[in-house]
Each structure stands twice: as C-alpha cells, then as structure tokens.
Amino acid sequence: MRALRRFLNRVINLARRREQDERLREEIEEHIALQATENLRTGLSPVEARRQAMLKFGGVEAMKQDYRAERGLLFIENLLGDLRNAGRTIRRMPGLAAVIIVSLAIGIGVNTTIFSWIQMILFQPLPGVSGASNFLLVEPRTETGGYPGASWLEYRALRTQVPALRDIVAFQVVPFQRGETGQTERTFGQLVSGNYFSALGLKPAIGRFIRPEEAERPGTEPVIVISYDFWQTRFGGAPGVVGQKLRVNERDLIVIGVAPREFQGTMLPLKFELWAPATLAPALLGGTRDLEDRSIRAFSLIGMLRAGATREEAQAELSTAMAQLARDYPEASAGIGGEILPFWSAPRGPQRMLISGLAILQGVMLLLLLAVCGNTANLMLARGSTRQREMAVRVALGAGRWRIVSLVLSENMLLALLGTSLGAAIAVWGTMALRVAPMIGAFPIRFQTRVDELTLSLAILLGAACGLIFSAAPAVHLARLDPQDGLRSSSNTPPRSRARKVLMGVEVGLAMVVLIAAALFLQSFRSARQTDPRFRPEGVLLAAYDLSGRNPDEASEREFAARLLERLRSLPDVEAAAIATNVPLDLHGIPARSFTVQGRVRTEAGQDITISNTVTPGYFKVMAIPLLEGNDFAEMGDRAAPAQAIVNEEFVRLYLNGADAIGRRLQTSEGSFAIIGVARNAVYNAFGEPAQPAVYFSYRDLPAIQGEIHLRTRGGNETALTSEARAVLRDLDPMLPLYDVRTFSQHIERNLYLRRIPARMFVVLGPLLLGLAAIGIYAVVSYAVARRTREIGVRLAFGATSGRVVLQIIRENLGAITWGTAIGWALALVISVRAITKGVINLPVFIGVPAILLGVATLACWIPARRASRIDPMAALRHE
C-alpha cells in the first residue's frame, strides 16, 4: 500500500520535475542559511560560518542525485533523456541514419509482406469465412500418393460417415459462358453442394443462398448465387437483381442472392463469381456424368471440425469410410484412401503452388534482414569508435556501464523504431499492391492480404530483434572502454577493432548465402522455362470453343470438330491443326483416369491411373511429339476403324514392362480401345515433373462438347492466325465465340505466374542486397581510413606511393571479406547440395556470385582508400 502510494507519487513527480527541483534548491538554501546564522552566533566570521554550514551539509550534488532518485522514476527519466539524446545524435548523422533506416525498412517491409501472405494462407484460407482455420481439406489419396479429388457419389457417402467433421461441403471449378450466344463473357464459378453456404456460415449480402433441397436431385430449380463484385460491376449493385434471369452456358438461371463482399470462393487465391448447385452440372456442362460416375473425381471437399473433435478422429473416420467405399465399389474406389489435411498443406491446386515458393522466400528474406543487421551493427561500431572520447568523458563523469549501454541501446532502438515504422508502411503498400487483382490470363486472382495486428506485431518484433542485434556489438565495445585510455588517446591512434572486421566478414558471408540462394532460385525458375517440354510450344496458337447449351449429340460434336479442322487446315498459314480437350501445363492440370490394360495383372488391390487427353488426328504433328511406334489416329470421318488409343513411353515402361504395346486392348469406363501407337514422353502438368504415364484417346471416338484448337503456323507469327481462326469459326457458326485465344508460350507463362512473383522479388532484392553490402564495406573502410589520416600522412611523407597505400588498405580489409565470402560460399554449397539440387553444383552461380561480390567489395574498399591516399601529407600531419 505504502509502496504503491510512493510509486504513484513518483509517476506524478515525473511531470513536475522542474517545480520540484526548484523546491529542493530553496530548501537547501534555507538550511544552509539557518546553519550559517547559528554558526555566526558561535562567533565565526560570516565567510567561515557559511563554509562550515556547507561542510556540514555535505555534497550537494550527490544529495540532489539521491533526492531525484527518490523522487521520480529514475529509469524512465533516464530513458527519456537517452531518447532525446538519441534523437539529437541521429539528426547529426543524417546520411548514415538514412542508410540504416531505409535498409532496415526494406528488410522488415519485405518480411512483413511475405508474412502477411503466409498468414493469409495459414489463418484466412477462406476469405470472408469466419473461423476458416477450423476447416480442413478432405482429400482422397491413391496408393501411389496422388490426390485425384472426390466424385459426387463419394461425397454423398462421406457426408454422413465422418461425424467428426460438422458438415462436409463439395465444390468444383467450372468455366461459365455468361450472356447470349455470340456475345458471351467467360467467368469462373463453382458448382457446389447444397450445404455449401450454410456450412461456411455465410450471410448473403442480399437475397438468399442455395437451399440444400436445391442440390438434391438433378434438374431441381435452376438457381445461381453471384459474387459481390459481379453484382456491383454487372448489375450496378441494384437490389432488384434477386429474381432476375442470368444466362449461363445457354441456360436461364435465376439469381437468388449475392455473396458477401469478402467471399471469393473456396480455392485460394482464385476468385470466383458464380455459384450454382452441383446438381445443375449435367444441364450446364453438356450432359456430364459427374453426378453418377464414381470414376469422375471432379470435386474438392472441405469440412469444419466439430467442437471437441480432433483431426485424428476425423482421419480415422475418413479412413474407415474410404475403406468401406473401396469394398463396395472396387472398380472406382479400390486402393483409394483419404487424408484430412489443413489448408496450408494442400497437396494440389493453386494453394500448393503458392505455399512452396513463399516458404523459401521467407527464409531467404530473414537471412537478408540478418545481413542488414550485420551491416548496421558495423556502421554503428565504426561510428562508435569515433565516439570513444565522448563515452570516456561520460564514464569519467560517473556514468555507469549500464548508462552507457542504455545510451547506445536507445540510439539504436530509435533507429530500429524508425526503420520499423517505414517498414510497416512498405508492408502496407506491398500488401495493397498484392490486393490489386492480377489476372492469370482469363483466370482472376484475388489476394486479400492485409497488415493486421499479427503482421504488425511481427514487424515490431523483427524491428526490436534487429535493434538488439545491431546494438550488441557497439554497446559492449563502448561499455568496456577504459575512460583513461579514451581520454588520453587522441583520435588518430585507432585501436584495431577486430569486432568490426569480423562483423564485416559475417555480413559479407550472409550476403553471399542470400545472393547464391537468389541466384539458384532464379536459375531454377529460368531453367524451368527453358526445360525442354518435349513438345514444341513455339509457333502454336491456342483457342477454345464451347458447344455447351447447343446440347449437341456426339455425332454433331464430331461433325463440328471435323469441319472446323478441315477449314483450319485449308488456311494458307496453317501448317497443322488439331483439337484436344486438354492443354498441357494448364493451371488445373490434366485429368487422370483409371483403366485396365491387356497383359497387365495387378498383384495388389487398387487400380492403375494415367493422365489422359482426347485429341484429333494431327495433334502429334502440331505439338511436335514424335510417334515412336505405330501410327496417328484414324481420320475423323472414318467410321470403320475400331476405337483407338495411343500411349506414351512411360506408360509402356510402367504398365507393360516395356513389352510391345501395339495391338493390346485398353479398357476404361468409357469402353475398350485398341492401342495403335506409342508417343514420346512429354511434360504434362509441370516443368521438372518425373515422367508420367499418359494415354491419348481419339476425338473421333470420344467427341467432347468443348475443345482447345491447336494451330501450328507455317512460319511467322502465330498470333497472326487469330483473325483467320475467328473468321473460320464465324463461318461455321456465326453465334459461337472463340475464347481464351493465346499463344502456347503465353499459356506457359500463365502456368508459371505464381512462381514468377517470388522470382521477381529476387531480381529486385539481389542487387539491393549487393548495394547494401557495398555501403557497409564502404562505410567501415572509410571510417577506418579517416581515423588513420595521420599514419597515412606519415607514410606518404616517407615516400610511400599512393598506389602502395591503396593496396595496403584494400589488402587489410579484403582479408576479412574473403573469409566471410568463403564461409558463406561453403555454407551455401552445403545447403545447395544437401537440399536443393541434390548433389548437382551449379557452377556458373557458385563462381559468378562470389566473383561479383568480391568485385563489389574491392570497389567499396578502393574508393575510400584512394581518397585517403590523395591527401596532402603536410595537411595530414598538421591535422592534429
């Protein structure tokens, strides 16, 4: 109680310092006066009386100090004093402070931005959905480790059989043609289960959401929910939108509601605009058998953990349920288990692509921040040694070691604080820049990243950690200072600071690791693009058409494709033309299907799965994929030939043990096919993937409602074919649009889009880091040189040439730098060999990067050394 009152009084006194000082002064004055009067009475002279009085009183200043310590909170008073002092110090060195603050700000800003991204994936995997981190992915998993997705019937079964999950929802990504035929607009939407919106806990902005009974049986009420953005841009946000008709894929759907503003669908970072009941699939997707066929695994499932249930329980229940399904439907589900996974470990899809890059990026950026810290520590240390005198005076006047440390600390913390604030501003700007929806070709993306309390606390934490890291060396150095030495030695006999050189080495070493990481990342990114995809994308134009809504039968689909091809091939600039259902290196991936092949008996349970694409004859010519054996498919008009299939090398190796494939029969859910050829392997889903087994079917046997036109130009620019292709299609069907026209190269760029963002960051940050290292070295060397002016002057006076002086300075500093580089290089090498390239050393990177770094370092040493060697020896000697 008493202690509390004392404390409160102290706090109050903080504000009344001046007044209180005045009071004390007056009291002392009075005391001494009284004592002097008394002494006078004992017969002393007035002067002696006062002297005795003062002697009796004791040391006034020491007493005042005690008094102040008793009165206020010394700690805070000191802190305020230190901060004021720090502010003054920083103002006196604007250039240095600017370098430190800006480099810190960049380090912290970049880290925070990346963290806001990672955080979005970790904690807000479903924007607009509260408690999104409680949702888990439910992923069927094949025994070979693939994640094929779930079929609709599987979903219906799982819904009731995993009670640990409150409600499992299913969704599928679908492209939609919105509008009247001829003037359609392509958007993306999701076909969803009836419980989708209720399980996500969403409230419509207006209207209502899909009711469970509307997604029970096919052919139920044709309804659709639109996104907030879609409502705003297409309907001007009019409330009358509910109940209006929206023409989608040649069907009239009734808009029943608008999703909340933040909601963008359930597949980060893609942004969807329309949500329709899954049961509309046959109507919207031209009679697809998604809803009945257990081997069509088109849906993704997510579910929210019931309160009190654990992931392990859910996993156990899912495994049981999947095992039951495998027993009940062996032809479609044998060997398929299931996994419950959090969003951040999504095994497939765009989330997966995003996360892997981000993790590496964050690691490297933290290293970068550490390098910045090393740099700053070095600058501060260099500056600190010019302040030895000041500190020596302080110590001599009675400042304790801790006061010195706290002085240095407060200076650095102020710098760190400024850097952090600027860094936070950069992070805010960075996340804003990310929010501006970029388009991956036709696929809209939306990042709802933001700087919230968590990211901000990370920024502050980083800032504080940096401040501490780069304060440590100078603080320790100055606190250990012997005041006598400090005062005696004049400023031109520098103690050789080993700490500074070690720090310089460490900084360069860190820079080395980061630069090599950046270079390797860029290299792998570039080489991914330069990897031979084993087909030839150059000179190929892609365009899509879609007959959905015409409700064509198979014959007319086949007929249409045949006529289209015939016309396209007759174009003078077209060397070859083909149609396929899928394009390699697509964001969605090429679908896989299960099959059995003659001559292969599976020993264990389960089923064989292969990538499959349906193509017209001529496809291999357009793609420049050579047929190693056999022939191309029979012409589209050929009605006599049996159903055909072409497999690739890997298929033969994996499933037929390299035996002759031609003539064997391949059985799928869609019929029996005769293998007529073997094609060379190609890249299907990603650059750098291991060889994948693949089967090509013929468009003639399995015509599809939509197709991707592949056109190989006869030379010249493939984009020139666009208008001709459009004209051809218009001729055939004036109302049918050609959409998603792009060159194959553009198509590949899209696929690499998500990986390109980190690559770009490296491109910007690599040189920046190099610059920082150069500034660090420069500052250290120039400080050291400035303090040796007299020594250099003496040397010059005794006849040393300026060249020798320069050489000597460079040699002295380059030693530490070389050590740092070597250690960083070795570290990077170990990491690279162990983790990234698995034994392969990227020679150009491992030679080039150190060469550049050493070059820059030498330059950074050379400039101040040269300046020092140019001084007039007389002036230098007179200097003191």
Partner 1 sequence: MVLKTLDVLGPLHGYGIARRIEQISGDLLAVNQGTLYPVLLKLEQEGAIASEWGASENNRRARFYRLTREGRKQLQVETQDWEQTAAIIARFFEVKTEDLP
Residues that bind partner 1 (CB under 8 A): 2, 5-6, 9-10, 23-24, 26-28, 30-31, 33-35, 37-38, 56-60, 62-63, 66-67, 69-71
Q: Following CA atoms 550, 551, 552, 554 in sequence, which dihedral angle do they give, to the nearest 10 degrees?
A: 150
Q: Residue 333: how many CB atoms within 10 A of its CB?
A: 26
State how far the Cα of 707 lies from the Cα of 740, in Å rounded to an integer: 11
Q: Which residues pair with 577 in a beta bridge?
A: 711
| DSSP structural state of residue 309 | -
Nearest CA to 467 out of 518, 423, 513 is that of: 423
Cβ 372 to partner 1, closest distance in Å? 46
**Which of 220, 302, 235, 303 has the alpha carbon at shortest distance from 273?**
235
Residue 676's φ and ψ, nearest 5 degrees, are -115, -5
- Closest to partner 1 by CB, 9 vs 457, is 9
Cβ distance to partner 1 smaller for residue 63 or 80: 63
Could you tell me how far CA 749 lies from the centroid of its own chain?
18
Whether residue 385 contacts residue 127, with contact meaning beta carbons closer than 8 Å, is answered with no
Q: Minimum distance from CB of 398 to partner 1 (Å)?
A: 18
Looking at this protein, which amino acid is placed at residue 186? R
**Least distance in angstroms from the C-beta of 505 to partner 1:** 51
Contact 668, 594 (CB under 8 A): yes
**Please, what is the minimum distance in Å from the beta carbon of residue 11 to partner 1?**
11
- Residues 64, 50: Cα–Cα separation, whole Å: 19
Backbone angles phi, psi at 261, to 5 degrees: -55, -40
Residue 69 vs 851, nearer CB to partner 1: 69
The number of residues in the chain equals: 880
Query: Minimum distance between the CB of residue 54 and partner 1, rounded to whole angstroms?
Result: 10
Task: Report helix angle 401-435 to 74-92, nearest 10.
Answer: 70
Per-residue burial over 561-590, b if 16 or more Cβ lie within 10 Å, else e, is bbebbebbeebeebebbbbbbbbbbebebb
CB of 820 to partner 1, least distance (A): 53
Burial of 735 (0-12, 13-18, 19+ CB in 10 A): exposed
CB of 1 to partner 1, least distance (A): 9
- Which helix H or strand E contains 276, and what residues bound it? strand 274-277
Residue 58 CB, nearest distance to partner 1 (Å)? 3
The minimum distance between CB 44 and partner 1, in angstroms, equals: 17
Which residue's CB is nearer to partner 1, number 37 or number 345?
Answer: 37
Instruction: State which residue, 59 or 599, has the beta carbon closest to partner 1.
Output: 59
Tell me how far, at minimum, the Cβ of 52 lies from partner 1, in Å. 12
Closest approach, Cβ 90 to partner 1, in A, equals 35
Helix axes 401-435, 388-396, angle to 10 degrees: 130
Minimum gap (Å) between residue 48 Cβ and partner 1:
17
Q: What is the nearest approach in angstroms of partner 1 to the Cβ of residue 3?
A: 8
Least distance to partner 1, CB of residue 34, Å: 4
Residue 732 near residue 596, CB atoms below 8 Å:
no
The residue behind tokens 């001494």 is: 32
Query: How far is it between the farthest Cα atoms of the chain?
Result: 142
Instruction: Report in angstroms how near the CB of residue 51 gets to partner 1 at its nearest.
Output: 14
Residue 499: CB minimum distance to partner 1, A = 41
Phi, psi of 658 (to 5 degrees): 80, 5
How far, in Å, CA of 541 to CA of 533, rounded? 16
Fill in the amino acid letter for 444. Answer: P
Query: HSE on the CB side for 827, CA within 13 Å?
Result: 18
Between 56 and 526, whose beta carbon lies closer to partner 1?
56
> CB under 8 Å to 420, separation ≥6 — which residues?
104, 105, 108, 459, 460, 462, 463, 464
**Closer CB to partner 1, residue 23 or residue 203?**
23
3-state secondary structure of 528: helix
Rounded-to-integer distance, Cα 823 and Cα 868, Å: 30
Cα separation, 92 vs 418, in Å, equals 16
Residue 758: enclosing H or E segment and its boundaries?
A: helix 744-786
Burial 505-539 (b: 16+ CB within 10 A, else e): bbbbbbbbbbbbbbbbbbebbeebbeeebbbebeb
Nearer to partner 1, 77 or 143 (CB): 77
DSSP per residue over 356-388, as a string? HHHHHHHHHHHHHHHHHHHHHHHHHHHHHHHTH
Q: Which is nearer to partner 1, 61 or 453 (CB)?
A: 61
Helices (H) and strands (E) in the chain, counts: 27, 23
- Taking the complex as a whole, the smallest distance from the CB of residue 50 to partner 1 amounts, in Å, to 14
Comparing CB distances to partner 1, the nearer of 13 and 133 is 13
Which residues have CB under 8 Å from 265's CB, separation 6+?
171, 190, 227, 271, 272, 275
Q: Are 725 and 545 in contact (CB under 8 A)?
A: no
For residue 264 the two structure tokens come to 């963008």
CA distance 471 to 478: 11
> Closer to partner 1 at the Cβ: 10 or 680?
10
Query: C-beta of 68: minimal distance to partner 1 in Å?
Result: 9
